[in-house]
A = this chain, B = another copy of it.
Amino acid sequence: MATSPIGAGRPKTRGIVLNLIRAARTISRIELATRSGLTPATITQVVRELMEHGLVVEVGRGASTGGKPPTLLQLNPLARYAVGVLVERNTCVIVVVDLTGRQVARTAFPGTALMPPDQALPLLASRVNALLGTAGVDRDRVLGVGLATYGPQDRRAGVLLTHAPTAEWFEYPIAPRLSAVLGLPVLLDNDAAAAAFGEHWLGAVEPRTYGCLYMASGIGGGVVVDGEVYRGRSSNGVAIGHITVDPDGRACDCGNYGCLELYAGPHAVIEYAMAADGLGQRLGLDPAGVDVMGQFRRVATAASAGDPAAKRLIERSARHLGTAAVTMTSLFDLDLIVLAGPSFAVAAAIYQSVIEAEVQRRTFSRRAHPMRVVTSVSGSDAAAVGGAVLVLQSELACLELG
């Protein structure tokens, strides 16, 4: 429905126009009117306003459709920024992205999750501030911080609902506290959901409905439906790491049993490697060691280099993930799964080919559409980048101009 120019200055109208410019990369005013359903007069007014505030710039002329070639618009990447923070058990990653979602700064350091919150938060905040300083980003241009982490959470309240890794984090209001320390809005979200969303927003995947398998030290999932994160009742969905793959399996910390994570995750692979003849010793593994991801990387590296024993273990992990991926594609009716997160990075080719073969062969809806599995464009940083991009989406949708 066309909206009168009276509504032009409304934050939501601005959000619609900004999102269309972002998705198109470059676009003319006429095309903006066509795609938005807004009147040319409204578009002219909104674009003028966005240009005055430096959010949109003119970048030359497009192809003529008869008359004068239309002027093309694009986002000014340096007009606004967002920060993404991934809090993992053993690692933190912080990224700064510009208005188009492009990464302009990054840092990673050993995890804060094993510290009590009162110690972890000031450390996280100082790292965010330091990164913004290094990147030379004006704080006034930072829209906010997207905090991506695992486990059940109350996303709206910004509160963690997990006892892992320590009991002190349970019911901890991490988002409001970090926001108070930083003086910036903080959005809490699931790491896998963030990773999933980033993929589409950055233009890496074509269909607007797809799933994401996310593997770091644990395993998570995210689903994007028609360009938006699938939320369910409480934004705690797609908990693919905690579905039962072995009905006779052992109890998991999550309360379920026989969970995927216990069979396919980095910790399981290290345990299998210790049990495999000589492999654990050969790779210098220690299942009691803190650096789970580093040890897993050694197995994945050996597998990629062709070590038969290591390859068998990664393939076994991949087959379990393949079965879970089939459950995901059959339940959500997906035709695309993106593999994201640091634990898919090293042996990506093995994981991609095994999981793709399983979903192509076993998915219920495979006769209705072809099935594909791809690796994330953001790789190991997918959750941090996704966290930052979720801030862009949320803040641009109803941007207030000063």
Task: Kindly state the separation between the CA atoms of A330 and B254 in the bound complex, as whole angstroms.
Answer: 11
Contact between chains at B152 and A236 (CB < 8 Å) = no
Cβ contacts under 8 Å, A1 to chain B: 1, 3
Cβ contacts under 8 Å, A247 to chain B: 245-246, 320, 323
Instruction: Select which of B225, B328, B362 is within 8 A of A256 by beta carbon.
Output: B362
- One complex includes copies of this chain to the number of 2
Contact between chains at A333 and B364 (CB < 8 Å) = no
Instruction: Determine if A272 is an interface residue (Cβ-Cβ < 8 Å).
Output: no
Instruction: Determine if A350 is an interface residue (Cβ-Cβ < 8 Å).
Output: no
Contact between chains at A369 and B234 (CB < 8 Å) = yes
Cβ contacts under 8 Å, A308 to chain B: none
Instruction: Select which of B209, B221, B240 is within 8 A of A232 by beta carbon.
Output: B209
Contact between chains at B236 and A365 (CB < 8 Å) = yes
Closest to A223 in B: B331
Task: Kindly state the separation between the CA atoms of A255 and B362 in the bound complex, as whole angstroms.
Answer: 5
Interface size on A, residues (CB 8 A): 51
Question: A interface, by DSSP: helix, strand, loop or mixed?
Answer: loop
Instruction: Select which of B230, B235, B242, B245 is within 8 A of A330 by beta carbon.
Output: B242
Instruction: Determine if A327 is an interface residue (Cβ-Cβ < 8 Å).
Output: yes
Cβ contacts under 8 Å, A233 to chain B: 207, 209, 333-335, 365, 368-369
Contact string against B for A residues 25-60, beta-carbon threshold 8 Å, 1 for contact and 0 otherwise: 000000000000000000000000000000000000
Task: Kindly state the separation between the CA atoms of A205 and B26 in the bound complex, as whole angstroms.
Answer: 46
Contact between chains at A234 and B330 (CB < 8 Å) = no
Contact between chains at B323 and A364 (CB < 8 Å) = no
A58 to nearest B CB, angstroms?
30
Closest to A12 in B: B1
Query: In the complex, which residues 352-366 of chain A have their Cβ closer than 8 Å to any Cβ of chain B?
Result: 361-366
Instruction: Select which of B153, B327, B365 is within 8 A of A244 by beta carbon.
Output: B327
Instruction: Determine if A332 is an interface residue (Cβ-Cβ < 8 Å).
Output: yes
Task: Kindly state the separation between the CA atoms of A37 and B191 in the bound complex, as whole angstroms.
Answer: 37
Cβ contacts under 8 Å, A152 to chain B: 364-365, 367-368
Instruction: Determine if A102 is an interface residue (Cβ-Cβ < 8 Å).
Output: no
Instruction: Select which of B237, B239, B332, B364 is within 8 A of A254 by beta carbon.
Output: B364
A364 to nearest B CB, angstroms?
4
A4 to nearest B CB, angstroms?
10
Contact string against B for A residues 188-229, beta-carbon threshold 8 Å, 1 for contact and 0 otherwise: 000000000000000000010100000000000100010000
Instruction: Determine if A113 is an interface residue (Cβ-Cβ < 8 Å).
Output: no
